[in-house]
Structure 1
Amino acid sequence: MQGMIISNPKLEFLRPVLERWFTCIDRFNAVRGDGESPYWFDERANLSLLSAAAWMAEMVTLQHTPTPKQVEEGDRSGRADLLLANAQQRAYLQASQRWPRLNALNLSQALLDITAAAKPIAYSNELKLGCLFVAPHKPQQSATPEELQDLIDDLQKQHCCAVAWYFPYAYRKLRNEAGHYHPGVAVLLKEART
């Protein structure tokens, strides 16, 4: 199960990146084997996959890129987690990750928090995005197709500008050392308006 919805036209230029993101996850598993998946780790691991996908889509990226940061006292130096750019457009991302239970996403506050963290990066006329990676888990047993469909339905109801998800059949039965099954990953992007 994979898909994406981009509801904000400003983010449409990221469609090729999100399409190739699925490929990057598969490529990681093809090289490393099916004993682990990159989305189990943290937002840095997932940002590296997103960055690789951008390069595959003929874009450029820079992780931990310097930016002016707007604060009440004026501008100061700051950093964005990732810059994504092509010749015409660019976006600065601030990222975080959550590992919620499969049937209890509760992502609203996490999405608000990461979007708030993205507000001061770069100038007000720049496209700034909160980027939330979600690697849901289910303790002790793998997810059923019905549970995954419910999860995708929940992801589509989140108030964000774009969402992409990837729950590959081959990885649904993978579990970590703690016995948690992580059937896939989603990324939610929300514009941070100042």
Structure 2
Amino acid sequence: MKEHELLLNIDNKEILIEILNHSIDFLIGNQDEQQTMRMSHKYGFHNPDDFLLTTKSIAKFYRSICTSDVNSGQQSDFVRSELSNLTPEFQKIITSALQSRRNEVLCYLIREQNANEYPLIESFDWDTRLILGDSSFAQNNKILTTLSLNLRQNQRRNDQMQQLHIQMDYNKLNEFIKTIEDAMVDCK
């Protein structure tokens, strides 16, 4: 594979492991292109674009391993066939780097797939207010909770963030919490 040829120039195992982990971080969204290009000189690349290309190709390779029908036992055979120009020792390092973070990558890929179909809750915030009466009746005391959900939709299309605000009283809040707890029990 042409895009992996730059890995042939790396002779230090520790640097290779760092590059592979950086590629996994790039794949799961912990690193972006600018951060990757800034780190190129740290790993001995003279051209930041070459490092970015290498990182993207490794991330794409790891994505293809995780999304294909290759199980853990066949993974080393798949790597050996795809990266035949690398030494067996480097092939083993590539396999072990993915194996150590496979759950993290799979979790990200599942979230990415789900985000294409449904909005995902990225984070939330809540606020509780005590309302001490209103204009019609002074003794009308209520507790209102405002729940703000930050949703991420369609990660393939520019990572659109949406906000959903829900305001509810004490009874509705308890009903909402019970529904979430029931859904979590069903997921287990």
TM-score for both structures, normalised by structure 2:
0.32
TM-score for both structures, normalised by structure 1:
0.32
The structure where strand makes up a greater share of residues is 1
Work out which structure has the larger RCO, using CA pairs closer than 8 Å and 6 or more positions apart in sequence: 1
